[in-house]
């Protein structure tokens, strides 16, 4: 039994949902295209630093699309942005500091 | 006793408790997978040589899996959108599709893993495989977890729609956030392991 | 002057109570979703593990004071695999050491400080009916419980005993250690899950369920402390969870994440693939473990701040700076960790980086401690047991903090790393530091939780004995460390010539430890005796200003009769012209 939701939700109404759905389809197509791009580029066997850079850029674009539109981050509240910004800062520290520290030092395998 | 802001939003934050809770949980998951990615970077940059992904792994199969997961993200968000439009039966279809996509992902992974084990490519063989199995294994566990939650909302949990449709919609949205995150991790995992 | 304990009948919440009464014994007291019950479960569990972890150390201290001396009756109980003929095997000493550290940190202090005090006090202090996610709260306790059972079981089930590779589980030793280490890893996964679930609950609750009028800058300092601590747990624990999974893979699936190539153990070359990096474990471990030490101290600072404000009858001095310092400290704690790794072959650039961030992080610590000390100036001091513990915290934490400075500076860390100096430093912050803060909190909030006071005389005996013994135990360890005695030596340094002149200090520390154990007996007795025989109290026996003191003692399910509101800051004591020497936050 379907029930039209009478109570207010997160601010969206039926009209907005239609707009959102159109965005979801667009994002889906974009993600498919970018998947094809990243796989195709990998077939060229570019030198590792370039390959990594390209792959990372494509992944970040894809990830941002999922985050911004599927996860609605583009219209989220400040609190969520603040939590994610903090997480992002520590994420970068975790990515960068260990490898830089090990390679600044002396470690024989 | 009623906990405030479970269903309605708190005005100064504009959020429900569940929305904050799931984002906090996802923040911790970013750090979890982040640690594994950091380990990958450390191990790979310290290794004398490192095999290219396509020499060790099945890229076509994983590309299919990428398409499967991205599609499942679309069906997931459509499931939520259906609830927002008040269409419960459409929700069930989309949620069902999401679960099936998850199943497809796991089945393909099963074939990938079996092929590796069959040819003696084990986690203990070398560090490439070690990090591959660990990263995809942990990701796979998250896929299973997400599927379990989604199955709950498709099945027994769906009766909440009758008594509190707003709450049900919010919970499906939050489950969707987790599912999208699982997709997001794969979007980075796939090129890292398979294409580089 | 406190009101006599009259809790009037409140029809509006009787309905809630009635529904709650319908729950059977198991749902009400064991599998409860009420934050107060869960808080008490956490606190009691934490206290029991503190006692157990302390007992492990009391046994270690026997071998440190009298290396090789036998305890025949204990040898008979523990068997030849641990104490043949009653003399302690070094492997057993290592087991005791690794589990003492693990249990005290993860099963003792954190469950009590965060799970216990956080769960019980936080919702009450912000005027909330419960936590935002009561069922997740319950789940987080039972995860802790399972983790605790796993850790305890690891002593008896696996052959070869519990983990023996230090609480730090450094690789490659922990990779190749006996199966007790696998139990440790599984236990840690339960404990980490418990903390993650708790952390997201605390953060959501603090932001969403605070009372009307309770803005962030009107929060009691305790609330801020728990809030920042929750972020540390949420974001720092997952990398250790990942590392734990990788160590499990190394141990169980034969991977070489942490095993370098060409490793030879007892003359035999290992057959694993190699190519791993032991430093990877250290980075991931310390990424958690440094913020973890702030998890250990922040709740205690929060408790001490509440008790000082209450017993000086003055607002805290520098509340705003304390809050900013707390937030800054929390942030910095994520980028200092490699000061635990100065001796790993780090280059000068990164050593300089971590040394710098470490020096910077000492600033907010000093701001907080100094503000608490300045808060005492001009006070109308009440010297009850909570206040005695809170006052003692200040110099004890001061010593602990100051002695950390040479460890944070690369050059002075070189001779001090892995010596008894380090043990002295961190025990000063955690033992007469945090644990004193937690004791203060128990004496302070016991009346709220039980409706009765603890006995003051027993409290003062507990305090005096503990303070003296703590210093007897740990002060000499600075001397031993400066003399170069390494930590984790089963005989306390007895086999080294250079250590001979300082060995006698081991005897002092051991007798100090055993006496400290004796002085906990009045506390344990008091804790239970007062449940039935303590002086009954009303809502606000300490004449305090924060919202928890407006609820009945103990509070019913749902906590408050009607939603509380905050009308002013948290420490309006001795306001000029006011009729009483305190103006509660919750009074209109």
How many domains does chain A divide into? 2
Domain that holds residue A109: 77-109
Rounded to an integer, what distance in angstroms lies between the CA atom of residue B48 and that of residue A105? 17
- Contact with chain C for residue B130, Cβ under 8 A: yes
- Give alpha helix (H) positions in C339-455: 348-374, 385-408, 410-416, 420-429, 436-450
Tell me the chain B residues in contact with residue A83 when contact means C-beta distances shorter than 8 Å.
Answer: 23-24, 27
Higher pLDDT, C13 or B119: B119
Asked if C120 is an interface residue toward chain A (Cβ–Cβ < 8 A), one would say: no
Cα→Cα distances A13→B82, B85, C9, C258, Å: 12, 8, 46, 53
The 3 state secondary structure assigned to B48-102 is CCCCCHHHHCCHHHHHHHHHHHHHHHHHHHHHHHHHHCCCHHHHHHHHHHHHHHH
CB contact under 8 A, A38 and B195: yes
SS3 C464: helix
Check residue B2 and give its pLDDT. Answer: 87
8 Å CB contact between C355 and C409:
yes
Say if C132 falls within a structural domain: yes
On whether residue A103 sits in a domain, the answer given is yes
Shared domain for A19 and A70, answered yes or no, is yes
Angle at C516 between CA C473 and CA C83, to 5 degrees: 80
Is there a domain that residue A46 lies in?
yes
pLDDT confidence of residue C3 = 38
Task: Give the closest-approach CA distance of C283 to chain B in angstroms.
Answer: 10
Q: Tell me if C273 and B32 make a contact (CB, 8 A cut-off).
A: no
Residues A70 and A29 in one domain: yes
Instruction: Tell me whether residues B195 and A14 touch, CB distance under 8 A.
Output: no
CA distance C51 to B41: 42
Query: Is the domain of A45 the same as that of A85?
Result: no
- Is C588 contained in some domain? no
The reply to whether A89 and A64 lie within a common domain is no
Question: Residue with structure tokens 């398409």?
Answer: B67
C561 is a domain residue: no
- Partners of C268 in the β-ladder: C265
pLDDT-derived band at A9 (thresholds 50, 70, 90) equals very low
Q: How far is A40 from chain C (nearest CA, A)?
A: 31
- What is the average pLDDT across B144-159? 97
How many residues appear in chain A?
A: 109
What pLDDT score was predicted for residue C19?
A: 55
Burial status of residue A11 (CB atoms within 10 A of its CB: 0-12, 13-18, 19 or more): exposed
Whether residue C200 contacts residue C238, with contact meaning beta carbons closer than 8 Å, is answered with no
DSSP reduced 3-state for C269: strand
Give per-residue pLDDT as tens, C34-80: 999 999 999 999 999 999 999 999 999 999 999 999 999 999 999 99
Separation between Cα atoms, residue C432 and residue C396, nearest integer Å: 6
Instruction: Give the C-alpha separation, C430 to C407, whole Å.
Output: 16
Tell me the residues of chain B between 136 and 195 that have a Cβ less than 8 Å away from chain C.
138
For residues C374 and C305, give the distance between their C-alpha atoms in angstroms, rounded to a whole number.
12
Q: Which pLDDT score, from 0 to 100, does residue A19 have?
A: 87
* CATH code matching the domain that covers B17-195, chosen among 3.20.20.70, 1.20.120.80, 3.20.20.60, 3.30.465.10: 1.20.120.80
CA distance C436 to C446: 15
A19 shares a domain with A57:
yes
One domain for residues A93 and A54: no
Task: Collect all residues of chain C within an 8 Å Cβ-Cβ radius of residue B127.
Answer: 255-257, 273, 275-276
Q: Is A9 domain-assigned?
A: no
Domain ranges of chain B: 17-195
Q: Does B29 touch chain C (CB under 8 A)?
A: yes
Q: Do B42 and C238 touch (CB under 8 A)?
A: no
Subunits with 3+ Cβ pairs within 8 Å of C are A, B
Per-residue confidence in pLDDT tens, chain C, 588 aa: 333 333 334 444 444 454 555 788 898 888 999 999 999 999 999 999 999 999 999 999 999 999 999 999 999 999 999 999 999 999 999 999 999 999 999 999 999 999 999 999 999 999 999 999 999 999 999 999 999 999 999 999 999 999 999 999 999 999 999 999 999 999 999 999 999 999 999 999 999 999 999 999 999 999 999 999 999 999 999 999 999 999 999 999 999 999 999 999 999 999 899 999 999 999 999 999 999 999 999 999 999 999 999 999 999 999 999 999 999 999 999 999 999 999 999 999 999 999 999 999 999 999 999 999 999 999 999 999 999 999 999 999 999 999 999 999 999 999 999 999 999 999 999 999 999 999 999 999 999 999 999 999 999 999 999 999 999 999 999 999 999 999 999 999 999 999 999 999 999 999 999 999 999 999 999 999 999 999 999 999 999 999 999 999 999 999 998 899 999 999 999 999 999 999 999 998
pLDDT tens digits, residue range C358-396? 999 999 999 999 999 999 999 999 999 999 999 999 999
Q: How far apart are CA B62 and CA B68, in angstroms?
A: 9
The answer to whether residue C565 sits within a structural domain is no
Q: How many CB atoms lie within 10 A of CB B1?
A: 15
Q: Is B10 helix (H, G, I), strand (E, B) or coil?
A: strand
Q: Is residue A3 part of a domain?
A: no
Can you tell me the distance from the alpha carbon of C430 to that of C232, in angstroms, rounded to the nearest whole number? Answer: 17
pTM summary value: 0.95
A32 and A64 housed in the same domain: yes
Tell me the two tokens of residue C240: 């250790």
pLDDT at residue C349, rounded to an integer: 94
What pLDDT does C20 receive?
A: 55
Predicted local confidence at residue A15, as pLDDT:
60
Q: Which of B160, B183, B155 is nearest to B67 (CA)?
A: B183
Of A10-24, B9-23, C469-483, minimum mean pLDDT range:
A10-24
**SS3 letters across chain A:** CCCCCCCCCCCCCHHHHHHHHHHHHHHHHHHHHHHHHHHHHHHCCCCHHHHHHHHHHHHHHHHHHHHHHHCCHHHCCHHHHHHHHHHHHHHHHHHHHHHHHHHHCCCCC
SS3 C419: strand
CATH of the domain at C379: 1.20.210.10
H/E element, B151: helix B127-154
How many domains does chain C fold into?
1
Decide if C209 and B3 are in contact by the 8 Å CB cutoff: yes
| Measured distance CA(C89)–CA(C33) in Å, rounded | 45
Instruction: Judge: B31–C203 Cβ closer than 8 Å, yes or no.
Output: no
Peptide bond into C435 cis (omega under 30): no
Select the residue from A42, A51, A61, A103 to test the B interface by mutation, using most B Cβ atoms within 10 A: A42
Judged by a CB distance cut-off of 8 A, whether residue A101 touches chain C is yes
Q: Are residues A31 and A46 in the same domain?
A: yes
Which residues contact residue C179 at a Cβ distance below 8 angstroms, ignoring those fewer than 6 apart? C158, C159, C160
Residue C18: inside a domain, yes or no?
no
pLDDT score of A7:
41
Structure confidence by residue, pLDDT tens digits, B42-70: 999 999 999 999 999 999 999 999 999 99
SS3 C127: coil
What is the structure's pLDDT at C1? 38
CB-based contact, A44 to chain C, within 8 Å: no
List phi, psi (to 5°) of B15: -130, 155
**Partner C, chain A 58-97, Cβ-Cβ below 8 Å:** 79, 86-87, 89-90, 93-94, 97
Residues in B touching A91 (Cβ below 8 Å): 30-31, 34
Q: Which residues form the domain of C143?
A: 24-257+276-550
Pairwise CA distance, residues C357 & C212, whole Å: 38
User: CA dihedral in degrees (C535, C538, C117, C19; nearest 10)?
Assistant: 120
pLDDT at C6: 36
Q: With contacts defined as CB-CB under 8 Å, which chain A residues touch B74?
A: 24-25, 27-28, 70
């Amino acid at each position: 039994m379907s029930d039209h939701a009478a109570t207010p939700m997160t601010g969206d109404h039926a009209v907005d949902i239609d707009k959102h759905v159109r965005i979801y389809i667009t994002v889906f197509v974009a993600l498919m295209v970018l998947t094809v791009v990243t796989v195709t580029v990998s077939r060229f066997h570019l030198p590792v630093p370039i390959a990594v850079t390209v792959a990372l850029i494509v992944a970040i674009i894809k990830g941002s699309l999922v985050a911004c539109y599927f996860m609605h981050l583009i219209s989220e509240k400040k609190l969520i942005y603040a939590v994610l910004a903090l997480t992002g800062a520590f994420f970068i520290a975790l990515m960068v500091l260990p490898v830089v520290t090990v390679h600044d030092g002396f470690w024989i395998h | 006793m009623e906990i405030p802001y479970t269903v309605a939003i708190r005005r100064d934050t504009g959020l429900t408790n569940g929305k904050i809770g799931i984002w906090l949980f996802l923040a911790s998951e970013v750090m979890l997978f982040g640690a594994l990615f950091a380990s990958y970077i450390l191990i790979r940059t310290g290794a004398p040589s490192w095999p290219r992904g396509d020499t060790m792994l099945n890229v076509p199969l994983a590309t299919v899996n990428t398409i499967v997961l991205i599609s499942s993200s679309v069906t997931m968000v459509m499931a939520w959108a259906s609830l927002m439009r008040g269409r419960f039966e459409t929700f069930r279809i989309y949620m069902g599709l999401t679960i099936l996509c998850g199943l497809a992902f796991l089945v393909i992974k099963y074939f990938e893993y079996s092929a590796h084990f069959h040819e003696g490519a084990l986690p203990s063989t070398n560090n490439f495989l070690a990090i591959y199995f660990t990263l995809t294994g942990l990701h796979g566990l998250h896929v299973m977890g997400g599927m379990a939650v989604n199955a709950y909302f498709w099945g027994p949990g769906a009766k909440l729609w009758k008594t509190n449709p707003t709450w049900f919609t919010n919970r499906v949205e939050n489950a969707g956030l987790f599912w999208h995150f699982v997709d997001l991790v794969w979007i980075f995992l796939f090129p890292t392991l398979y294409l580089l | 002057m406190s009101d006599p304990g009259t809790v009037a009948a409140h029809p509006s919440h009787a309905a809630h109570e009635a529904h709650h009464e319908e729950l059977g014994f198991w749902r009400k007291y064991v599998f409860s979703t009420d934050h107060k019950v869960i808080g008490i479960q956490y606190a009691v569990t934490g206290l029991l593990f503190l006692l157990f972890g302390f007992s492990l150390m009391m046994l270690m201290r026997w071998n440190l004071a009298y290396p090789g001396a036998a305890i025949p009756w204990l040898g008979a109980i523990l068997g030849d695999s641990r104490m043949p003929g009653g003399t302690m095997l070094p492997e057993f000493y290592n087991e005791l050491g690794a589990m003492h550290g693990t249990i005290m940190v993860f099963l003792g202090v954190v469950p009590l400080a965060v799970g216990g005090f956080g769960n019980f006090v936080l919702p009450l202090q912000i005027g909330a009916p419960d936590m935002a996610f009561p069922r997740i709260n319950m789940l987080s306790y039972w995860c802790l419980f399972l983790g605790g059972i796993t850790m305890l079981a690891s002593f008896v089930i696996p052959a070869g005993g519990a983990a023996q590779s230090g609480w730090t589980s450094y690789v490659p030793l922990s990779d190749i250690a006996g199966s007790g280490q696998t139990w440790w890893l599984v236990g840690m996964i339960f404990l980490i899950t418990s903390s993650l679930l708790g952390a997201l609950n605390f953060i959501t609750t603090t932001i969403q369920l605070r009372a009307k009028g309770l803005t962030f800058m009107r929060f009691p300092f305790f609330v801020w402390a728990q809030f920042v601590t929750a972020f540390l747990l949420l974001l720092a624990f997952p990398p250790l969870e990942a590392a734990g999974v990788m160590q499990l893979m190394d141990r169980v699936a034969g991977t070489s994440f942490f095993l370098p190539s060409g490793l030879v153990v007892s003359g035999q070359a290992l057959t694993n693939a190699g190519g791993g990096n032991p430093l990877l474990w250290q980075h991931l471990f310390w990424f958690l473990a440094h913020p973890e030490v702030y998890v250990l101290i922040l709740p205690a600072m929060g408790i001490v701040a509440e008790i000082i404000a209450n017993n000086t009858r003055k607002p805290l001095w520098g509340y705003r700076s304390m809050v900013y310092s707390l937030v800054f400290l929390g942030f910095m704690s994520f980028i200092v960790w490699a000061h635990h790794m100065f001796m790993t072959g780090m280059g000068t650039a990164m050593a300089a980086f971590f040394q710098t961030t470490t020096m910077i992080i000492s600033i907010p610590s000093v701001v907080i401690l100094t503000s608490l000390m300045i808060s005492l100036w001009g006070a109308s001091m009440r010297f009850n047991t909570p206040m005695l513990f809170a006052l003692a915290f200040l110099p004890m934490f001061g010593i602990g903090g100051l002695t950390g400075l040479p460890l944070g500076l690369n050059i002075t860390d070189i001779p001090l790393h892995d010596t008894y100096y380090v043990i002295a430093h961190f025990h000063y912050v955690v033992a007469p530091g945090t644990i004193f803060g937690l004791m203060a909190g128990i004496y302070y909030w016991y009346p709220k939780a039980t409706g009765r006071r603890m006995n003051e005389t027993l409290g003062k005996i507990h305090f005096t004995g503990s303070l003296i013994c703590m210093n007897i135990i740990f002060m000499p360890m600075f001397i031993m460390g400066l003399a170069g005695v390494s930590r984790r030596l089963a005989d306390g340094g007895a086999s080294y010539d250079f250590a001979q002149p300082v060995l006698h200090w081991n005897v002092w520390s051991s007798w100090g430890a055993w006496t400290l154990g004796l002085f906990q007996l009045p506390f344990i007795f008091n804790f239970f005796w007062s449940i039935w025989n303590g002086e009954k109290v009303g809502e606000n026996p300490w004449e305090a200003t924060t919202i928890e003191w407006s609820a009945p003692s103990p509070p019913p399910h749902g906590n408050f009769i009607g939603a509380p509101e905050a009308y002013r800051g948290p420490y309006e004591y001795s306001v000029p012209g006011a009729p009483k020497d305190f103006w509660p936050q919750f009074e209109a």
